[in-house]
Chains A and B, each alone.
Chain A
């Protein structure tokens, strides 16, 4: 009989042991959910995901930063306290502050930036944002040289591929970098560079996380040339707590995969006195319902991306709340207050905690612009008039109000209005079925029944099916064409999209930096993200003109004209709406989150109101007198 108890005892001992050795985390000043999953990497040069970039701004600091509480996201000094720009707009000299320190107390020097940016320019590192680094004069040549040298190395017989040979090639690479790339540390506190073209948004790019410095004595230990390929062997591990040396407001003190990450104030950060929180706990919650529950039960202070299926219903509750307080809401809005500040001044109500904020991103449908479809048939969408006709017969307002129901603003242009200082996007084409039918007839399709069946391709996730159904109905009703829906698994969809194996497909874009080119370059002939295979020399020429234009206002006008061409004439894609992100936080308890359309949140600016740390007064956006921010909550 006793023998029967053995399995019970073993199982119980196992449970007891793990529980005792795995205590729950201590409470932190701020607990928030960063995105909807685990961070992909904390290596700034290799980042591309929103949540990674948000974490990077917590742990690292670049030469410059964006003041996220201005509508223009104005550039402010960070590690660099000042900079000079040459008259041709191509030479930059940054002067670094002398109190910028790494988290181990060592000073942050210009050499650290040279090391980190050189890292990004290595094909070995495979940075997603290599194109930005190629803007540095000689950067592109250096990258290509290294790539060729590596290719040549791999052709060598095995006897010539030794640790020593790989090391020699690595030393040559470093010398080659110094000789070709116009990036140099003049002294510890002066960083000088020259760009291939005047780049008015260069300071904005320097504030982008991919340009943040990493600590050479640490990182170089993990990246040694591999004798077989001469490529750097990238070993993970240096981003882990206890090892990571960083220069930002916080340091990582614990990181458990898909569980949580903990950050504590960096005692060596030069601007540490400005921080209103000492510790941050970032649990990972992937299940959308669990995320909402975690917020509602008070386990987290802020959820940065609420994606539950009933999102539309909770947003409706917020609208009802505004409706009930209509007079007060209108009066506050008329004062030009930002949406969070309006919420703070309205009566207490749990419905206040849901926030629809604009994202720097647009949802659209691609038209395949090639003359032939993938299977060899003639492509009716090769004709811009056809694309225009289809674009004009989608009732975007109804789509947003009845199908999406999550507060997205209708998009007439690719670039969200007011998101980039000094730039005015075109109006775009309105909803006009009658004109659309005429246009289609003019394009040689007087009898729409003879138009080939339009195939809309989409991936089955995230409600794309509902949108496709609505769009199909619009096209059938307004144009009289027949439409079929082609639902794909995400990876298949992605493959077909890249190979232009589609007629019409859904797509979208989250932009990276504060310049129109972040959206417009994706339509340049041959661009890696030009999934439409759109090509218009006039458009490409305008982008080229903007490249060399040094007058900012004229440059913006050129870019606006380029966008007008794709949004009012050629329509390689038709934008439906600008994305929104749904936050959950109590505006009376949490300050420091900004409602700007570019939606860059600097977590180190957060202030738990009423906890006695920091000013305990929420920062607000400057009052905008005439028009409120686009995408702001409207009842």
Chain B
């Protein structure tokens, strides 16, 4: 187990550098100038040149190296060793202004939103995306497992067909349709929920429900298949034969084994729910990471693109690792 964790953690920087290189190459090759305001007044040419130099946007390799240096934490480590950070702190103390916060992994400034660093933007948006994704997965598990168990207990019954149909709709319908319908029903026609924004539990209901449905549908199908398989197995027959109650048979024996495929789906699903909620964020005006990802690409905001991509990649890797670890812990046969 420890070997697995170590191996994966050692692979992490390698994967991230590959992701970094590919993303930066693509983003750099995309047409357009990140310093330009697409619909407005253009700064004079010499101003543009000065800004390009300031942000290392005049040379791919200079940008590649300098950004890798600051984002990987190498610059911070160097400044820590050479004592530069301590000097900056002293200077700040003398001049009576708060010291510049130096993040270890510095993703740079946002080119579009000059008052913000990419670290600040991500720090504000990540809890939102993680909360939304986590809640969506919880709801998906609740709905999916219930539906799956109901379907497996009475296969081909009305309840089974109904849940299968709903699952199929959940998988097929895009979230912007589900989201808009929910908005219309619970926000406008029968206004019991706020139409958007972020803050209270009420504002979380519609977006997390919308985000959860495709996952719920998939979990329902996985659970149903797993349950049908384990309900026909020997140990379930044994359990019933020794007179165990049907409820315990289902939950303690059948479901426990049927849950394993769901658990392995949960890793990528959680990462996906937390990172891929762009459409839901937009429909419900949720200030999460997905919108920054898309807008950064549209604005060619290089620092923000790289920051968000690196964080997303890290999240995907870490969640997959977490699930693998948990999988082994739950089911020692796997190790």
Contacts and interface: CB of A to CB of B under 8 A. Distances in A.
Contacts of B204: 15, 19
A491 B38 contact: yes
A19 B138 CA distance: 15
B28 interface: no
B284 A297 contact: no
A1 B46 CA distance: 67
B187 A257 contact: no
Contact of A257 (B30, B116, B284): B116
Contacts of B198: 22, 24, 259
A23 interface: yes
Given A22-B199, A290-B285, A297 B191 contact: yes
Interface stretch (B74-82, B126-134, B238-246): B126-134
Contacts of A297: 187-188, 191, 194-195
A130 B47 contact: yes
Nearest to B92: A221
A1 B256 contact: yes
B309 interface: no
Interface in A81-135: 123-124, 126-131
Interface stretch (A230-238, A315-323, A339-347, A447-455): A230-238
A74 to B, nearest CB: 25
B103 interface: no
A520 B183 CA distance: 47
Interface in B124-175: 124-125, 127-128, 130-131, 134-135, 137-138, 141
Task: Kindly name the residue among B31, B188, B191, B300 whose own CB sees the greatest number of chain A CB atoms within 10 A.
Answer: B31
Contacts of B109: 236
A297 B202 CA distance: 15
Given A123-B46, A491-B300, A293 B131 contact: no
Nearest to B117: A236
Contacts of B37: 48-49, 128
Interface string A593-624: 00000000000000000000000000000000
Task: Kindly name the residue among B115, B135, B266 whose own CB sees the greatest number of chain A CB atoms within 10 A.
Answer: B115
B32 A14 contact: no
A299 B285 CA distance: 13
B200 interface: yes
Contact of A130 (B43, B97, B199, B283): B43
Task: Kindly name the residue among B36, B97, B121, B194 whose own CB sees the greatest number of chain A CB atoms within 10 A.
Answer: B97
Interface in B45-76: 45-48, 50-51, 53-54
Interface in A7-45: 7-8, 11-12, 14-15, 18-19, 22-25, 38-43
Contacts of A259: 124, 197-198, 287
Contacts of B115: 39-43, 236-237, 239-240
Interface string B231-267: 0000000000000000000011000100100010010
Q: How many A residues are at the interface, by size bracket?
A: 35 or more
B235 to A, nearest CB: 14
A299 B198 CA distance: 13
A8 B330 CA distance: 14
Given A285-B285, A290-B196, A490 B38 contact: yes
Contacts of A510: 39-40
Contacts, number: 198
Contact of A46 (B114, B256, B284): B114
A349 interface: no
B333 to A, nearest CB: 14
Nearest to A491: B32
B127 A290 contact: no
Contact of A287 (B137, B187, B283): B283
Interface string A484-515: 00000111101100100000000010101000
A441 to B, nearest CB: 38
Nearest to B259: A4
B112 interface: yes
A257 B114 contact: no
A294 B196 contact: yes
Contact of B195 (A23, A24, A290, A512): A290
A256 B31 contact: no
A147 interface: yes
Nearest to B121: A257
Contact of B287 (A231, A256, A299): A256
B8 interface: no
Contacts of B124: 256-259
B291 A286 contact: yes
A417 B25 CA distance: 49
B281 to A, nearest CB: 9
B4 interface: no
Contact of B47 (A127, A240, A284, A299): A127
A529 B42 CA distance: 7
Contact of A40 (B112, B138, B187, B251): B112
B7 interface: no
Task: Kindly name the residue among A7, A41, A490 whose own CB sees the greatest number of chain B CB atoms within 10 A.
Answer: A7
Contacts of B120: 257
Contact of A15 (B45, B46, B134, B197): B134
Contacts of A289: 180, 283
Given A41-B114, A48-B40, 4 more contacts: A8-B138, A19-B204, A48-B37, A258-B121
Interface of A: 1, 3-4, 6-8, 11-12, 14-15, 18-19, 22-25, 38-43, 46, 48-49, 123-124, 126-131, 147, 150, 218, 221, 229, 231, 234-237, 239-240, 243, 256-259, 283-287, 289-290, 293-294, 296-297, 299, 489-492, 494-495, 498, 508, 510, 512, 528-529
5 contacts: A22-B199, A128-B37, A231-B50, A257-B116, A491-B32
